[in-house]
Amino acid sequence: MSDRSATVGSEAELGGMNNTQEEEQLDEVRCASFNQDFTSLCVGTVNGYQIYDLAKSDELQLQCHNRSGSKGQSAVSNCFIVQRLYSSSLVAVVSEDHPRKLCVNHFKKNSHICSYTYLTSILNVLLNREVCSPCLVLQLLVVVYLVVQLLVVVYLVLQLLVVVYLVLQLLVVVYLVLQLLIVLYLVLQLLIVVLCTSFYSCYLM
C-alpha cells in the first residue's frame, strides 16, 4: 500500500508539474504594446492576445481576451504583433504561424474584418486614423536596389546623350571641312579662270 501511495503521489506531482508548465506555456508573452494615446495595453501570447484598459492607474482592466481555442472568427494564436487603433475596437494582429499575413479584427464583436498577405514577413505595424502601414523584411533593401538601378539607367542615358552630342559635334566638323573644301574648290576655279584670262590676253597681244 505504501508503495502504491508513493506511486500515486509521484504521479500527482508530475501531473501538477505538467499542468503548471502548460499554464506557463499558455501564458507565454510574445509581445506587448500600447495604443497611440497610451490608454490601453495589448499583449500577444502563444494562445492569443489580451487588451487591458489603462484608465485606472492602480489596476489593469481586461477588455478583451482572445484565445485560439475560443469561438469566433478572430481567434489567432502565436501573436507577435498586436496593435490597437486608439480606443476603437479595431486590432491589427500578426501571427508567427503566418508572418506574412496581417489580420484586422473587431475584438468587441469577436469578428474578423479583413486580412492582407504580403510577399515578405511583417516586422511591425504602424497605425493611424487613415493608414495601416506594415513594415516588411527587406523592403528597404528592395527600394534601395530599385533606386540604384534607376540611377544606373539615368547614368547610361546620360552617357548615351554624351555620345550623341559627340557624334553631332563630329558631324559639324565634317560639315565645316566640306564647306572648306568647297571654298577651296571655288578659289581654285577662280584662279584657273584668272590664269586662263591672263594667258589669253597675253596671246592676243
| Distances from the Cα of 153 to the Cα of 54, 79, 149, angstroms | 54, 43, 6
DSSP 71-133: SSTT---SEEEEEE-TTSSEEEEEETTEEEEEEEEETTTTEEEEEEE-SS-EEEEEE-SS-EE
> Cell numbers at residue 70, please?
475560443
Q: What is the pLDDT of residues 95-141, one digit of tens each?
A: 988 888 888 888 888 888 888 888 888 888 888 777 777 777 666 66
**Rg of the chain taking only CA atoms, in angstroms:** 42
Q: What is the pLDDT of residues 75-104, one digit of tens each?
A: 778 888 999 888 888 899 999 888 888 888
The model's pTM: 0.50
Greatest pairwise CA separation for the chain in angstroms: 164
Residue type, 90: L
Cβ neighbours for 186, distance < 8 A, ≥ 6 positions apart: none
Q: What percent of the chain has pLDDT over 90?
A: 23
